[in-house]
């Protein structure tokens, strides 16, 4: 009984090791990349398109719309990062229907890595958008006294992101494992279905939170230029 796929180690050489988390992540990456490549290899720009292309278009435009709903003025700029977050987490939980698969998001290492990515990405996007001074100035708002609290909130929310996702994913697999030992018939299937649902919800929550953080970092001074592009966008 192991809490995390990190504990399943296929190969180790000192610090470097190859555990189940990394292997399954690679698997997911391969599936995602090859799948996209296969589908987008023969993209049609006409009105007729394949079902796979249609699916991917729905996914991409759905994420795009979601980001725009949060309030980002340029959703496509953040689509690569936030979309990948969502797709990775969602696919990780979706593949739990494959027997013998351990979701990499069930490892605190993976969720921590994702949270760190968000933690790094937020100031990067903020600085890119507002400049270094502008971004750092946000920590002093509304007063200088708020600086430590702002820093603490930044760290704590990153931690919360990582732990929330880990907890949910790990709990899903843990519950499934425990239930399998108690009632091996039917009930684990229901729990597995529930796990799929929670996995999707977690993927949504994770990516939405990341979006909100980035939006908060970038749009502070945005309200002024925002009205201008709106009529332009309408045209």
Partner 1 sequence: MLIDWFTVIAQVVNFLILVWLLKHFLYRPILDAIDAREKRIARELADADAKKAEARKERDEFQHKNEEFDQQRSALMNKVTEEAKTERQRLLDEARQAADALSAKRYEALQNDAHNLNQAISRRTQQEVFAIARKALTDLAAASLEERLAEVFTRRLREMDEQAKRSLGEAIKTASEPALVRSAFDLPAAQRTAIQQALNQAFSAEIPIRFETAPELISGIELTANGQKVAWSIADYLVSLEKGVAELLKEKEQAEAQAQARAQAKKPSVLTQQIGQRAYELYEEHGHKAGHAAEDWEQAEHEIRKEILRPVKTGPKAEIKPRAKANLEPEAEAKPEDKVAHEPASKVDPVPEGKSADKVGSKPAAKDAPGSAAKAEAKPATEAEPKPEGKPVAKPEATAETEPEKKSR
Q: How many CB atoms are closer than 10 A to CB 91?
A: 20
Q: Where are the beta strands (DSSP E) in the chain?
A: 9-13, 16-19
Strand 9-13 relative to strand 16-19: parallel, antiparallel, unpaired? antiparallel
Two tokens, residue 65: 């719309």
Q: Give the shortest CB-179-to-partner 1 separation in angstroms.
A: 22
- Tell me the two tokens of residue 23: 């292997």
Using the minimum distance from each CB to partner 1, give the nearer residue, 72 or 188. Answer: 72
**Nearest CB to partner 1, comparing residues 55 and 190:** 55
Residues that bind partner 1 (CB under 8 A): 3-4, 6, 15-17, 19, 21-22, 25-26, 28-29, 32-33, 36-37, 40, 43-47, 53, 56-57, 60-61, 64, 76, 79-81, 83-84, 87-88, 104, 107-110, 112-114, 116-117, 166
Beta carbon nearer to partner 1, 121 or 215:
121
E strands along 172-229, which residues? none
Minimum CB distance to partner 1, residue 172 (Å): 16
Rounded Cα distance between 187 and 31, Å, is 29
What is the token pair recorded at 141?
């708002």
Minimum separation from the CB atom of position 6 to partner 1 (A): 5
């Amino acid at each position: 009984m192991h809490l995390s796929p990190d504990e399943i180690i296929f190969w180790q050489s000192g610090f470097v090791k190859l555990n189940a988390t990394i292997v399954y992540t690679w698997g997911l990456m391969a599936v995602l990349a090859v799948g996209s490549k296969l589908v987008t290899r023969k993209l049609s720009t006409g009105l007729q398109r394949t079902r796979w292309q249609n699916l991917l278009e729905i996914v991409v435009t759905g994420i795009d719309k979601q980001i725009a709903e949060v309030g980002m003025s340029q959703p496509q700029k953040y689509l690569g990062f936030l979309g990948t977050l969502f797709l990775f987490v969602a696919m990780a939980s979706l593949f739990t229907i494959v027997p013998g698969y351990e979701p990499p998001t069930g490892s605190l290492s993976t969720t921590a890595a994702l949270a760190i990515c968000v933690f790094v990405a937020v100031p990067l996007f903020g600085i890119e958008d507002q400049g270094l001074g502008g971004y750092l100035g946000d920590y002093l708002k509304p007063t200088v006294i708020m600086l430590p609290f702002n820093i603490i909130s930044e760290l704590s929310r990153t931690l919360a992101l990582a732990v929330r996702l880990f907890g949910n994913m790990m709990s899903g697999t843990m519950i499934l494992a425990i239930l399998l030992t108690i009632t091996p018939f039917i009930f684990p299937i229901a729990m597995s279905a529930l796990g799929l649902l929670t996995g999707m919800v977690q993927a949504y929550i994770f990516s939405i939170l990341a979006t909100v953080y980035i939006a908060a970092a970038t749009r502070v001074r945005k309200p002024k230029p925002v009205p201008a592009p709106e009529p332009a966008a309408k045209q």
